[in-house]
Amino acid sequence: MSASSRTTRRGWLARIGAVVGVLALLVGAGYLRGSTSYIGGFPVPTIFPTPTTSPAASGDSEPEPVTPWPMPEQPPSGWTRLYGEDFSTSVPLGGFTNASNTDWYLADSNPYARTLRSYPDGWGTTHNRSLNFASKTADVVRDEFGARGVFRLHGYTPTTAGTDSALGGSFFPVLHPGAKTNAEQMGQTYGRYTVRFRTIGGYRPDVNGAYPSDSKLGRFGTAFLLWPVNDQWAEGEVDYPEMPWGAKIAGYVHQIGNPRVNGDSFKAPVTTDRGWQTATIEWYPGVLAFYLDGQLIRRVTENVPDTAMRWGFQSGGAVAVPPPDAEGYLLVDWITVDAYDGATPPSQQ
């Protein structure tokens, strides 16, 4: 071998060694792993832990860009910031426990004890198709899918004593920590509510790995909603975004005085599992405005509540009890809540 050939060979070996070194660093940091798993019918290179402990990557044909969308520090004109939570402190699975099994307060050991309320373990949710079990379903991780600081809720259906029991969770921001009652701490009349979220799996795919066409099949879902602080449903209810995981994002405004009937409903042409989405409710005197990723998608002027409401999100079985192989995840990057301070409603679409 000539001297020039040996030099060329040493150069290529050096380049290969550098590439191997970089790959080793990535593997050591947890960014690359050498296997594939599945959730919700999506093939997943396991750049995250297995689905029993962490969500799987999206089923999009192209990798998602790792581009954090930070929580806005200030609200738009006419609103005053009351609450902002970007989940910067990690909490392991099992860390979301209540101080008692009779109230909504989280244990003092949880870093979000003053900013979130949660239904206690064992309470029913989503029309009693599942049980609230934050201690078994909720955690907060440092990063996920490019977001920094992510609340995760793992919906799954364990079989106990021959019975399938779907597990979910319900959470409510605390707007006024110094107030005396839960209603005063969590409620306000009019406001602006924004959440950045996405879902992974949560349904049993059809034989082709696609979202199931049978509307009666059990699956997991979430409703982000405004609900009367006095629990008098007749005063109204506003749900947005609400959807089974993997389905199109929808919204519902219930009739005041007859809330079992929807006064208005709509769907966006976007499903919950195809990337991060940012959804906003703007609640004005006499007007509700709904936004998706900054774009106005619905404006409603009938059945607009005018009494104090609390905003929160409830996750669990949708349509029917999800089967054991329909596990999935709700991911929340950040939440903001603003008080109405004279903002002007948007004009008609």
Write the pLDDT tens digit of every residue in 318-340. Answer: 988 899 999 999 999 999 999 99
Please determine, for residue 43, whether its predicted confidence score (pLDDT) is greater than 60.
no
Sign of CA dihedral 35, 54, 292, 235: positive
pLDDT at 192: 98
36-40, 68-72, 338-342: least confident range: 36-40
Specify the amino acid at residue 221.
G
pLDDT at 263: 96
Tokens of 123: 């309470």
Rounded Cα–Cα distance for residues 43 and 314 (Å)? 28
Q: pLDDT of 119-151, one tens digit each?
A: 999 888 777 788 999 999 999 999 898 899 999
pLDDT at 183: 85
Please determine, for residue 53, whether its predicted confidence score (pLDDT) is greater than 60.
no
Question: Mean pLDDT of all residues in the chain?
Answer: 83
Please determine, for residue 56, whether its predicted confidence score (pLDDT) is greater than 50.
no
Distances (CA, A) of 160 to 89, 105, 154: 33, 27, 18
Distances (CA, A) of 197 to 15, 77, 212, 296: 41, 24, 22, 18
pLDDT at 101: 87
Tokens of 287: 């007007």
User: Which range is most confident: 55-59, 67-71, 127-131?
Assistant: 127-131
Tokens of 118: 């949660």
155-169, 222-236, 250-264, 325-339: least confident range: 155-169
pLDDT at 348: 75
Domain spanning 62-340, CATH class: mainly beta
What residue ranges do the domains of the chain occupy?
62-340
pLDDT at 22: 35
Q: pLDDT of 86-100, one tens digit each?
A: 999 999 999 999 999
Strand 287-292 relative to strand 277-284: parallel, antiparallel, unpaired? Answer: antiparallel
> What's the rounded mean pLDDT across residues 184-208?
95
Specify the amino acid at residue 126.
T
> What's the rounded mean pLDDT across residues 143-166?
89
> What's the rounded mean pLDDT across residues 6-26?
39
List, in sequence order, every residue forming a beta bridge with 255; answer none if it has no partner. 258
User: Which range is most confident: 63-67, 70-74, 335-339?
Assistant: 335-339
Q: Between the CA atoms of 171, 174, 177 and 183, what dihedral angle is there, to the nearest 10 degrees? A: -90
Rounded Cα–Cα distance for residues 251 and 153 (Å)? 21
Specify the amino acid at residue 203.
Y
Residue 68 banded pLDDT, cuts 50, 70, 90: low
Q: Name the residue with higher pLDDT: 212 or 106.
A: 106
What's the distance, CA 249 to chain centroid?
12
pLDDT at 67: 57
Task: Judge whether 199 and 332 are in contact, CB under 8 Å.
Answer: no
pLDDT at 200: 96
pLDDT at 277: 96
What angle (nearest 5°) sits at the alpha carbon of residue 191, between those of residues 197 and 236? Answer: 90
Residue 14 banded pLDDT, cuts 50, 70, 90: very low
pLDDT at 64: 53
> What's the rounded mean pLDDT across residues 296-322?
95
Question: With helix as H, strand as E and coil as C, how does the chain read?
Answer: CCHHHHHHHHHHHHHHHHHHHHHHHHHHCCCCCCCEEEECCEEEECCCCCCCCCCCCCCCCCCCCCCCCCCCCCCCCCEEEEEEECCCCCECCCCCCECCCCCCEECCCCCCCCCEEECCCCCEECCCCEEECHHHHEEEEEEECCEEEEEEEEEECCEECCEECCEEEEEEECCCCCCCCHHHHHEECCEEEEEEEEEEECCCCCCCCCCCCCCCCCEEEEEEEEEECCCCHHHCCEEEEEEECCCEEEEEEEECCEEEEEEEEEEEEEECCCCCEEEEEEEECCEEEEEECCEEEEEECCCCCCCCEEEEEEEEEECCCCCCCCCEEEEEEEEEEEEECCCCCCCCC
Residue 24 banded pLDDT, cuts 50, 70, 90: very low
Task: Judge whether 250 and 268 are in contact, CB under 8 Å.
Answer: yes
Token pair 């999100």: residue: 313
Please determine, for residue 16, whether its predicted confidence score (pLDDT) is greater than 60.
no
Please determine, for residue 26, whether its predicted confidence score (pLDDT) is greater than 80.
no
Percentage of residues in the chain with pLDDT exceeding 70? 80
